[in-house]
Amino acid sequence: MPFNPELCRNESEVESKLIVQYLLPQLGYTPDTWHQEVAVGSIRLDFLAFAAQVIPFVLDANSPLSVVMEAKHPKQNLNHHVLRLRHYLTSLNVRYGLLTNGKEIRIYQKLHTNIQLIFQCSGKEVEIKIDEIKTLIGRESLKEGHLVDKSKVQIENNSNFETKRQHSMKTIAIYHNKGGVGKTTVAVNLAAALRKKGKNVLLVDIDSQANTTFATGLIKFQFEEDDNLRELNVYHLLESGDFNFIPEVLRTSDYFNNPEIDVIPSHITLIEYQDKLNKILASRSRLVTKLKRVEDNYDIVIIDTPPSRDLYAEVALITSDYLIIPSDLKPFANQGLPTVKNFVNQINESREMMGKPPISIMGVLASKISTNAKFLQYNFPKQREVISERYQLPLMEAVIYDRTALSECMNQTITVGDLEYPDPKSIIKFAELKTSAQISAEEFNVLADEVIQKLGID
């Protein structure tokens, strides 16, 4: 299959169209000799291809020869990623690394504690240069005419080596330190769309404002004395490692979505408990531990976070495998992105000490976007370009527009006797009741499909 770099509009398409569909087959790598999204300790690789079929396999001084392949967004400057590739190759003792954004392809070779550029071409030249590439990192060139005897491979540090598992639970944090960017709207309706697609979803509210708890219909009381969430909510998961596990704390949001969604509720009292939890170092990892106990019950966990850099945001990012950053792409939200990146870097240090790989930024998600035609024609494309060019962050393809239906579905009520109670609906369920909501529902279905694809699950 020929390769056309013009068809690569984002990082995901560089991965699928250049690496998976073209390079790996052309270089002789069969599906059982390459792995996608590989984590080794704190290092996460896009692709790792082996010259030999070795299962199980390890990376050490005696490893079969291999090549790391890293894909970047077409608008990203590859020079910004050379140091990270050097870290990968020298730390893992891998001889070759391929770095590409679709428009440019580079191959580096490890030399002791440094790396050297040994090949470079444009994406348009890849077909005429494929034999040169094959000579350097083709499977036959690397394996030197023999396969490794699997029975003689020593398994070392296997607990620190993971590959993408089709059925492993994935955890996603929805976070931005700027409020008002549609964080809760994204969290609850993404969860609903994923659930509608057959995924088992757990939605965790770890924001003291409890917007997700309200939006999923769990606040069914009008008076404080009827508050049934105060004594059992997300705080109680973090309070102790010995009791209050997820099955005891979760609530099922029956009428919010069909099928129903399991929700860990929040409460306003999280604010007053934060000082207590701050003094307990273990509180930061308790959600990780307790989710581990239910990992066979869920495909995806979504965590709605506070718009701050407090303990609860820290817990969410320590716990999650992936991060989605909702943003209206306006100046104030954009100016907060460097702070988000710094916070993520800080969290990654904590994750490394826990033996967890760095959190993977799935992308900035354009949300609460105006539907004005002139804005979409002139301003919006420029706003999107800024994310990758100025802030060096991936941008998700899906877009969530600011539509009336999104507020309507959350403000549904039900009257019981003389009292009116909140009865919010997900946009997915609301669209079944009101045709004007269908376009918003479809936007979340597109987002759910993109998330599923990026997670690598069926």
With a cut of 50, say whether residue 121 has pLDDT above it. Answer: yes
**pLDDT at 425 (0 to 100):** 96
Three-state DSSP at 203 gives strand
Whether residue 155 is found in the same domain as residue 186: no
Give 337-394 pLDDT, tens digit per residue: 999 999 999 999 999 988 899 999 999 999 999 999 999 999 999 999 999 999 999 9
Q: Are residues 145 and 98 in the same domain?
A: yes
Ramachandran class of 182: left when φ > 0, alpha when ψ lies in -120 to 50, beta otherwise = left
Quote the domain boundaries for residue 99. Answer: 5-162
**Residue 226 and residue 151 in one domain:** no
* 151 plus 209 within the same structural domain: no
- The residue among 107, 134, 162 that closes a domain is 162
Check pLDDT > 60 for residue 268: yes
Give me the CATH number covering residue 279. Answer: 3.40.50.300
Domain end among 104, 131, 162: 162
Last residue of a domain, one of 145, 162, 179: 162
Do 251 and 346 belong together in one domain?
Answer: yes
Question: What's the pLDDT band for 4 if we cut at 50, 70, 90?
Answer: confident
- Specify whether the CB–CB gap between 116 and 123 falls below 8 A: no
Q: How many domains does the chain have?
A: 2
Q: Residue 188, exposed/middle/buried by CB under 10 A (0-12, 13-18, 19+)?
A: buried
Same domain, 385 and 311: yes
How confident is the model over 102-127, as a mean pLDDT? 91
How far is 163 from 214, CA to CA, in rounded Å? 37
Average pLDDT over every residue of 225-236: 85
* Neighbour-count burial for 337-369, b at 16+ CB within 10 Å, e otherwise: beebeebbeebbeebeeeebbbbbebbbbbbbb
pLDDT for position 59: 53
Helices 183-196 and 438-455: crossing angle in degrees, nearest 10, is 80
Helix (H) or strand (E) holding 331: helix 331-335
Q: Are residues 423 and 287 in the same domain?
A: yes
Structure tokens at 192: 């609903």
Over residues 9-67, the pLDDT tens digits come to 899 999 999 999 999 999 999 888 888 988 876 678 999 998 875 544 455 544 557 89
CA distance 126 to 143: 23
The reply to whether 92 and 214 lie within a common domain is no
Distance, in Å, from the CA atom of 438 to the CA atom of 378, rounded to the nearest integer, reads: 26
Question: Residue 456 pLDDT more than 90?
Answer: no
- Residue linked to tokens 């991965």: 15
Q: Any idea which of 112-121, 241-250, 413-422 has the lowest mean pLDDT?
A: 413-422
Residues 186 and 141 in one domain: no
Location of structure tokens 């470079």: 120
In eight-state DSSP terms, residue 307 is S
Alpha carbons 191 and 204: distance in angstroms, whole number = 10
What is the residue whose two structure tokens read 């993408």?
164
Burial 399-417 (b: 16+ CB within 10 A, else e): bbebbebbebbbebeeeee
| Residue range 86-93: mean pLDDT, rounded | 82
Quick one: which of 457, 414, 122 has its CA closest to 300? 457
Instruction: Name the band, by pLDDT with cuts 50, 70 and 90, for residue 84.
Output: confident
For range 284-309, the mean pLDDT:
94
pLDDT band at 146 (very low <50, low <70, confident <90, very high): very low
